[in-house]
Amino acid sequence: MSYLSKRLQTIHDMVPNSITADIGSDHGKLMIALFRSGTISKGYAIENKKGPYQRLVRALEQEDLFDHIIPLFSDGVEDLPAHLKTIIYAGMGGENIIDILEKHPNKLKLVQTIIVDAHGAIMKVREKISSLGFVIADEKMVKEEDQYYEIIKFIRADIATYNDKDLEFGPILRNEKSAVFKEKYISRIHAIDELLTKDLPVQRINELKEEKHRIEGIL
């Protein structure tokens, strides 16, 4: 199996045995690893930037996987087949993920699993995907090079009802309270305390105090 970072390995371990697409595949490491591990037998690797797409194609050529992993030069999911069962959105902004989902809702009709590693707007991502007929089945938080990543697995099910704490902090993450989860939010409290020593507008001070209160409520 190709070497995977902790973040990509966490995503890998959430993928079910199904036809899978990786949106923003870059070098294709994740899809190659999924095939080599026997998790998938067929998949699609999508990239919308010329340089990364060329790297993706070269990687698949080197691994002789064109019969199993199909590279697509695309902005999202519009070129994907209708029989797709799993979609991975990793390493992109949350607003971008939401935009892709909203552009082609018909592509989700047969999708059973969505795995997300959103860099920003995570609360909005949880809310959006949950509104599309998916529930949160698993969540993991990992730390790489001083960055925290929340990886979320959604599965097709009855529409779930999540409260604000679930959407902001994750229903599973805040229940499990892993060491990485605690570290992230304790660090955030320290950062807020530092900010509150500065000369800030009253509105910003109140926002920070409210955020700190919310964090303290889930730790």
- Residue 126's alpha-carbon distances to 47, 99, 116, 137, 198, in angstroms, are 23, 14, 9, 12, 33
Mean pLDDT for each consecutive 10-residue tract of the chain (219 residues)? 82 95 88 94 90 91 92 81 90 91 84 95 95 95 95 91 95 97 97 96 96 96
Same domain, 155 and 190: no
Domain that includes residue 213, residue range: 177-219
**Number of CB atoms found within 10 A of residue 123's CB:** 17
Same domain, 123 and 191: no
Give the domain CATH number at 111.
Answer: 3.40.50.150
66 plus 137 within the same structural domain = yes
Residue 93 within a domain: yes
pTM of the model: 0.93
Same structural domain, 206 and 151? no
Count up the domains in the chain and report the number. 2
Residue 11's pLDDT is what?
96
For residue 201, what pLDDT is reported?
95
Residue of 146, 206, 142 whose CA lies nearest to 178: 142
